[in-house]
Amino acid sequence: RSKSAGRNCFTIYDEAMSAELEARNTLEGDLRDAIALCQLEVHYQPFVDAHSSERRGFEALVRWRHPSRGLIPPDQFIPLAEETGLIVPLGEFVLRRACEDAAGWPSGLAVAVNLSPIQFKEAELFEMICAALADSGLPPERLEIEITESVLLERGVENLAFMERLKQLGIELALDDFGTGYSSLSYLTTFPFDKIKIDKSFIRNLTHQPRSSAIIASIVTLARGLDMSVTAEGVETCEEFERLKALGVNFAQGYLFGRPQPVGQIAFDESVRPSQRDAA
């Protein structure tokens, strides 16, 4: 009895495995098509100066408008895109679109783009970024690049040289999701970051846990000493924002200031020029 039950278990397990594999293959094929068919969209979430509450820019966040499944968030396809290498054309699409869109915004507004560690392994990445800037006409000073600590784990020397080149162009570098990864403090002295983005998990506990306040206060002190600025991610309530201001963060981002939205739905003040794509 137990033997046959065991066999049944295996059968179920196998079936579940192959169903999962099939679903993955379908998703991979769909994602390949999505890139070719321009089903990817870039949405933008504002970030503000913590002191003045003025908008300083937007983070570009990719979404997939799937023909039958609707709008798919990045957490559901970025890992697959990274495993399959599709992150390279996907990442280029997002960067180019973000530069084109931002070139049409008021000149005080920056755009932040997330780069995957996999893109860092591409020899052509620097040239691609230069081409995206040149083709869009966006000044490099208005582009921020967000990377996570995982980029810094491998190929440290090459990545340092690459980051120095970006900085020489005038691009700003942000360390994303700070506090969730390995968080080696040596990264902060080795790599030329302008900005640290504190992960939203610390902000979530802020008003209930005194320890989160202590961590944020330490990050702010550390960043000041290193001449970097600090952004708090995932700010949802006024209480959180007030607390973060008192702790000295420089920028804030989160649902309190706006959800990620398509570029056509962003309200700019009257000084805005129509975007190049809308005008075309």
Among the residue ranges 49-57, 152-160, 227-235, 262-270, the one whose residues contact ligand C2E (CB under 6 A):
227-235
The answer to the question of residue 176 lying near Mg ion (CB under 5 A) is yes
> Which stretch in 111-119, 126-134, 135-143, 167-175 sits in contact with ligand C2E by CB under 6 A?
111-119
Interface with ligand C2E includes 99 (CB under 6 A)? no
From the list Mg ion, ligand C2E, none, pick the one residue 91 interacts with, judged by a Cβ distance below 5 to 8 Å according to partner type: ligand C2E
Closer residue to Mg ion in complex, CB, 114/136: 114
Q: Does 236 bind ligand C2E (CB under 6 A)?
A: yes
| Kind and range of the H or E run holding 44 | strand 40-49
DSSP letter (8 states) at residue 258: -
Toward ligand C2E, which CB reaches closer, 257 or 268?
257
Query: Looking at the DSSP assignment, which residues form a beta bridge with residue 263?
Result: none
Q: Say whether residue 45 binds ligand C2E (CB under 6 A).
A: yes
| Cα-based distances in Å from 236 to 53, 129, 165, 201 | 14, 32, 35, 12
Q: Is 231 in contact with 47 (CB distance < 8 Å)?
A: yes
Q: What angle do CA 37, 62, 169 make, to 5 degrees?
A: 105
Residue 234 contact, options Mg ion, ligand C2E, none, Cβ 5-8 Å cut-off depending on partner type? ligand C2E
- Residue 22 CA: distances (Å) to CA of 25, 26, 28, 76: 5, 6, 10, 16
- Residue 62: which of 130, 114, 136 has the closest Cα? 114
CB 231 within 8 A of CB 202: no
Q: Contact between 146 and Mg ion (CB under 5 A)? A: yes
Under rule CB under 6 A, residue 74 binds ligand C2E: yes
Binding residues (CB under 6 A) for ligand C2E: these are 45, 61-62, 73-75, 78, 91, 94, 114-116, 146, 176-177, 200, 233-236, 254-255, 260
